[in-house]
Structure 1
């Protein structure tokens, strides 16, 4: 995805990552978001949520996992509600 970034109207994006992820190191989503933000022409938010206690599978505890899922659902609902706004 990093190499395919071009100026275009990207949708609202919530990129997530885990600090202790050995497969996708924390700087990869950060680097992707940093390059994507100035390339987007839509004016929609491109956010990065880095979980400081998670690995590749996300949060470890049941309630922590539910908190992550709630954040993703809330962002998705917000993005659908505001899809026409620029």
Structure 2
């Protein structure tokens, strides 16, 4: 059905992030996500948190991006998720991690830097479709 996934600054370690009140925006988002200190919310978050649900199975080709200066989804969340996927997945599909050392949550700033991000995404999609030039 799908050739691959573009996961741009994905919020993938929901339980850990929402359990740390010192991380910016966490307590302000309890209304949206719930407070994991309350067991029903914790159990519900655990049921859908991508990091906590990685298992030995095949995963699609993936390009995961993050920004070093992202205060909303800190760079180590996608990196930790990719590391766990690499250690656990059973396929040989691509699993790429791109960390922009200058970007925040919205990606690169500046017109041309943002276009480089778009070009990277298109290159990944074209590669999956078999375009090699």
When normalised by structure 2's length, the TM-score is: 0.59
Structure 1 unaligned blocks of 5 or more: none
Counterpart of 1:14 (choices 14, 39, 63) is: 63
Which residue number in structure 1 is paired with residue 75 of structure 2?
26
**Stretches of 4+ aligned residues off by more than 6 angstroms:** none
- 1:47 counterpart SS class: strand
Q: Displacement of 1:81 after TM fit?
A: 2.4
**Greater relative contact order (Cα < 8 A, sep 6+):** 1
Q: Quote the Cα distance in structure 1 between the aligned partners of 2:86 and 2:66.
A: 17
Structure 2 unaligned blocks of 5 or more: 1-49
When normalised by structure 1's length, the TM-score is: 0.89
Which residue number in structure 1 is paired with residue 92 of structure 2?
43
